[in-house]
Amino acid sequence: MTEDDPNEPYPWTQTRWRREGFGLEFDRVANFADAIYAIALTLIVVGIEVPPLEDESSGRELLDGLNGLLPDIITFFVVFFVVGNYWLAHHRFIGWLSVVDRRLISIELVYLSVIAFLPFPAALLGRLDDNPVALAIFASAMAVASLLESVAMGHAHRNRLMKRQLSESAYRWERGASLSPVVVFVVSIPLGFVSIWLAIGFWFANVPIGMWLGRRRPEEFRPPAQS
């Protein structure tokens, strides 16, 4: 049994936690975020209910009921794809960090509150698939989530919380990449008042935009060449 170091500060007095040293404190931040994403994505599919049938042995009645759920099912897969990409971006961001501080944790809590809220606007969009206000609520939530990702990145960059400090050009590129979904979701809101499915289709503009940004990725973000 080792004695405590009298010069070591108590964990609850800390304002910054390194990946090494107070690794448990660092990991709790990452694990909490993963749990929120897992719960949010699970609750999105829980909102799709089995259709009620008068004759439970009737295949035709079941097919009619499933046809009525088709907008809910399509919305689930679209939302899962969109939110899943947000989780991938967040996973990459956490992987860059060597330190978390109280301010970053506060930003993360606000960000994760938006992620945890997503099942509600997703359910609205699935049930009211012809209502542009439902789409506007969901798109607004996603835009806010993207904006908060950019805020978190900016805080980590300014306060040197990452394993390796980004150059200014790399930081500008990363900030542009995190803000591009904000533009896509905000633009989709007025499109929703023309056509809901046009607006949802526009969300997938994030894919070619991401590919375009990927081709312009700064050298420090590129994987090393294979020998």
pLDDT score of 2: 42
Q: Is the pLDDT of residue 1 over 50?
A: no
Q: What is the 3-state secondary structure (H, E, C) of 73-88?
A: HHHHHHHHHHHHHHHH
- pLDDT given at position 24: 67
- 7 pLDDT more than 60: no
Q: How confident is the model at residue 222 (pLDDT cuts 50, 70, 90)?
A: low
Please give the average per-residue pLDDT across 177-182, as a whole number: 88
Kindly state the average pLDDT of the residues 93-108. 88
Closest CA to 90 of 22, 34, 168, 141: 34
For the segment 136-160, what is each residue's pLDDT rounded down to a tens digit?
Answer: 999 999 999 999 999 999 999 888 8
Please compute, for residue 203, the number of CA atoms within 13 A of its CA located in the half-sphere on the CB side: 25
Average pLDDT over residues 185-193: 94
Residue 10 has pLDDT above 80, yes or no: no
Share of the chain above pLDDT 70, in %: 85
Read off the tokens for 9: 């500060």
Average pLDDT over residues 4-30: 61
* Residue ranges covered by each domain of the chain: 18-217
